[in-house]
Amino acid sequence: MSQVIACIDGSSITLAVCDYAAWASRQMDAPLDFLHVLGKSEYPIPVDLSGNIGLGSREHLLQELAELDEKRSKVALEQGRLMLDAAKARALDDGVTSPITSRQRHGELVDTLIEFESDIRLLVMGRQGEQGDSAGEHIGSHLENVVRTLHRPILVIPADYTEPRRILVAFDGSTTTRKAVELVAASRLFRGLPCHVLMVGADKVESRAQLDWARTTLEQAGFEATISLRAGQVEDVLCGYREEYAIDLIVMGAYG
């Protein structure tokens, strides 16, 4: 079943992930699934210490180490279960009416998502903050790999939730960004939201024609569309435009 899958890890951004995922579920009328992946830090690989110098036959020490690992794993599992339960409760409070489920796995985040890729209609992940806490790094450090590996739409969200009111498509006329425009036009995720399309570059006839195509595509799908062509450095222009028009979401290709 195609669904919204939200990756949570207990970091400070988890609440925002829950809220954005709930918003997406409501917009798309799609089931919502919360995913928590326990990595190697929660499940340390057992180490054979019997050959270490000075350890000798101190089997009781090995036993204590094994018991500590087992306890740590149980605590991590229970903590994850409680976190997932809290996430589902928050989604209900946020007004989600579609089915809400949760999954807990151990292993690598990217490998787990590849396994579930056919189930993903939209993946919601938090981006690592500028300061970042140790828990947040679990997802933040893997974000680029996930974005470049999966072939599914990914909503990368900031630390604080604000219900999206306006979206911006970073457009350059390439096949990738034309597909992004078509995705926005076809997706229920963005229904009812004004859509801006921004191209950065020289003012050429070809560029204007590409922007006109984008506007027509969006308007035919019922969107209020605004197009703009500006010169300058791409990152600076995008950031400036976002601030000028209070853009809440930016749509771009994985390799943009």
Q: Is there a common fold for 3-42+75-157 and 167-251?
A: yes
- pLDDT tens for each residue of 94-148: 999 999 999 999 889 999 999 999 999 999 999 863 335 544 444 556 788 898 8
Please give the pLDDT value at position 130: 35
Q: What pLDDT does 54 receive?
A: 56
For residue 64, give both structure tokens. Answer: 């204590």
* Rounded Cα–Cα distance for residues 179 and 162 (Å): 26
| pLDDT for the residue numbered 55 | 54
pLDDT digits (tens, 9 = 90+) for 57-87: 567 777 777 777 777 778 888 899 999 999 9
Does position 233 have pLDDT exceeding 60, yes or no? yes
Q: What is the pTM of this model?
A: 0.84
Per-residue pLDDT at 69: 72
- Over 80: is that where the pLDDT of 46 sits? no
Q: Is residue 211 over pLDDT 90?
A: yes
Cα 126 to Cα 160: distance, rounded to the nearest angstrom? 10
pLDDT averaged over every residue in the chain: 88
CATH 3.40.50.620, applies to 3-42+75-157: yes
- List C-alpha distances in Å: 87 to 1, 21, 213: 20, 10, 41
What token pair was written down for 159?
Answer: 């630390």
145 vs 30 pLDDT, higher one:
30
Spans of all domains in the chain? 3-42+75-157, 167-251
Specify the higher pLDDT residue, 249 or 52.
249
- The architecture of the domain spanning 167-251 is 3-Layer(aba) Sandwich (3.40)
